[in-house]
């Protein structure tokens, strides 16, 4: 049995997802705990993915989140970066802001963790992605978001930044990625299947951005796990 935590998602969004679960699934959706801001599912990952048209307000959400968090960590972090599809103008996306807090060394991680804890976050581990530590929020956030702490030289951070660069600079790649996301979301896949199905196209784009064979293998292995 696999446990999965869907975090940083407001309760209204969770309710919508639960209501959209197929009544014909062969696995019951068993809930261990339900909180206002996160939910733990046991058994299969049954939440389908919601992809919506690009909304310029996502930039404003990020700016407000940055204003709230950055002042607590600016003396030890080197950057606070909007990544993922919501950071790419025109890209259809899950309406969840992805944020990378960038540090130059994991020697600073314990202090970052301590400060984030003081403002209502909790550490979830790396969830299978080396070099990317994940933080959930104790209370329901104003804006749905994923918060990560990465080192500047990690494969995880390079993945986020160079995929964003590639999709921003290459119109054909932008179209292919957007169309695939919409197709996969329309098929009703759960989040794990959705991520797996995007992986080969992401690998293609990252190869064009100069990723090494070792780095691409690492990303592929983690995404397909």
Bridge-partner residues for 31, per DSSP?
Answer: 41
| Enclosing H/E stretch for 66 | helix 57-73
Looking at residue 12, its pLDDT comes to: 38
pLDDT level of residue 47 (50, 70, 90 thresholds): low
Looking at residue 22, its pLDDT comes to: 35
> Regarding predicted confidence, which is higher, 44 or 57?
57
The CA dihedral of 119, 125, 130, 135, to the nearest 10 degrees, is -30
Looking at residue 124, its pLDDT comes to: 98
Looking at residue 188, its pLDDT comes to: 87
pLDDT level of residue 31 (50, 70, 90 thresholds): very low
Cα atoms in the Cβ-side hemisphere of radius 13 Å centred on 191: 12
Per-residue pLDDT of 126-153, as tens digits, reads 999 999 999 999 999 999 999 999 999 9
Residue appearing with tokens 């909180």: 35
Provide the pairing of β-strand 132-137 with 145-151: antiparallel
Are the C-beta atoms of residues 93 and 83 closer than 8 Å to each other?
A: no
pLDDT at 70 over 90: yes
Phi-psi category of residue 90: left, alpha or beta, with phi > 0 → left and psi -120 to 50 → alpha: left
pLDDT at 23 over 80: no
pLDDT level of residue 38 (50, 70, 90 thresholds): very low
In this prediction, residues 160-174 reach a mean pLDDT of 98
Q: Report the chain's mean pLDDT, rounded to a whole number.
A: 84
> Regarding predicted confidence, which is higher, 198 or 44?
198
pLDDT at 203 over 80: yes
Mean pLDDT lowest among 3-12, 94-103, 112-121: 3-12
Backbone torsions φ then ψ of 103, nearest 5 degrees: -125, 155
Displacement of CA 47 from its chain's centroid (Å): 15
In this prediction, residues 76-81 reach a mean pLDDT of 98
Looking at residue 225, its pLDDT comes to: 75
Out of 14-18, 69-73, 128-132, the most confident range is 69-73
Provide the pairing of β-strand 30-34 with 145-151: unpaired
Count CB atoms within 10 A of the CB of residue 75.
8
Bridge-partner residues for 192, per DSSP?
Answer: none
Looking at residue 164, its pLDDT comes to: 98
Q: Where in the chain is the domain with CATH 3.30.460.10?
A: 57-153
The CB-based long-range contact list for 175-184 (8 Å cut-off, 24+ gap) reads: 176/201, 177/91, 177/201, 177/205, 178/90, 178/91, 178/92, 181/51, 181/85, 181/92, 181/93, 182/51, 182/92, 184/49
pLDDT level of residue 60 (50, 70, 90 thresholds): very high
Looking at residue 9, its pLDDT comes to: 40
The CATH code belonging to domain 57-153 is 3.30.460.10
């Amino acid at each position: 049995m696999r446990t999965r935590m869907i975090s940083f998602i407001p309760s209204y969004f969770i309710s919508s997802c639960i209501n959209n679960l197929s009544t014909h699934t062969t696995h019951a959706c068993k809930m261990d705990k339900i909180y206002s801001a996160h939910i733990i599912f046991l058994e299969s990952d049954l939440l389908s993915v919601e992809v919506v048209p690009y909304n310029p307000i996502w930039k404003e959400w990020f700016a407000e989140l940055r204003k709230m968090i950055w002042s607590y960590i600016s003396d030890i972090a080197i950057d606070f970066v909007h990544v993922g599809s919501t950071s790419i103008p025109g890209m259809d996306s899950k309406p969840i802001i992805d944020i990378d807090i960038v540090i130059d060394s994991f020697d600073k991680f314990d202090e970052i963790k301590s400060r984030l804890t003081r403002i209502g976050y909790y550490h979830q581990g790396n969830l299978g992605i080396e070099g990317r530590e994940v933080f959930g929020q104790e209370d329901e956030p104003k804006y749905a978001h994923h918060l990560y702490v990465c080192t500047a030289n990690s494969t995880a951070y390079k993945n986020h930044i160079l995929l964003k660069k590639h999709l921003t600079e290459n119109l054909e790649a932008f179209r292919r990625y957007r169309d695939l996301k919409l197709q996969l979301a329309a098929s009703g896949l759960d989040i794990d299947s959705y991520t797996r199905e995007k992986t080969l196209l992401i690998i293609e784009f990252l190869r064009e951005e100069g990723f090494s064979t070792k780095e691409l293998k690492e990303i592929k292995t983690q995404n397909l796990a």
